[in-house]
Amino acid sequence: MNTENQSKGDLTRTNILTEAYHLFLRQGYHGTSMRQIAEGAGIALGAIYNHFPGKEALFKAVFLANHPYQEMLPAVLAAKGDDPESLVRDMARRMVDSLAQRPSFLNLMFIELVEFNSIHSVELYESILPQVIDRIDQMISSAKERIRPISPIILTRAFIGLFFSYYLTGQILQPGSHSPANRQMRSQLESMNAFVNIFLYGILKE
């Protein structure tokens, strides 16, 4: 986090968020106490409550501060392509590049899923989804003769679902993890293209 030109209060809040982030990743949500966070941030326990009413509110702030939507949403909105194929491929590439900037996010996401049943994610997606749907709707409108009549909402959900399935299975299965870096990069690019092809054309031959 950028700490330049921050007031003392803002700097304290940033320190709290940073310490909480590292502790949540290392110890989990229930394994981390507010006292530990305060000690790590170099403040009294009572002072932490000047910034956050409780641990859940603090986790939500950490989750949002480290969520890749801050890069992914502008990336999706800025995607370019002269046809549906090139646009979707550019969207996918930009999303993968954005998520790669926050490699520890999945750890926070698992805490969010297990401990909070995704309530903070729902709030976030409800606020940003309309912008993504608008972008998908533009793609549909520009290529009506080529795209089957599918709801923009369903198409958006399918794209997001396919993207996360690509990323999650890549993290879990780690194909080629012991291969040279250039071979790994080539394998990841081929995998992403394959996932995009499935999204665009399905798996059945005509």
Q: Tokens representing 27?
A: 């110890």
Contact 162, 199 (CB under 8 A): yes
User: What is the pLDDT tens value at each position of the chain, 206 positions in all?
Assistant: 555 556 888 899 999 999 999 999 999 999 999 999 999 999 999 999 999 999 999 999 999 999 888 888 888 888 888 888 898 888 888 888 887 777 788 889 899 999 999 999 888 888 888 888 888 888 888 888 888 888 888 888 888 888 778 877 777 776 555 555 555 556 677 888 888 898 888 888 76
Q: To 10 degrees, what angle do helices 84-100 and 119-142 make?
A: 150
Per-residue confidence (pLDDT) for residue 111, from 0 to 100: 94
Instruction: Provide the whole-model pTM.
Output: 0.77
Please classify residue 103 by burial: count the beta carbons closer than 10 Å to its beta carbon, then call 0-12 exposed, 13-18 middle and 19+ buried.
exposed
| CA separation for the pair 41, 44 (Å, rounded) | 9
Residues near 106 by beta carbon (within 8 Å), at least 6 away in sequence: 168, 171
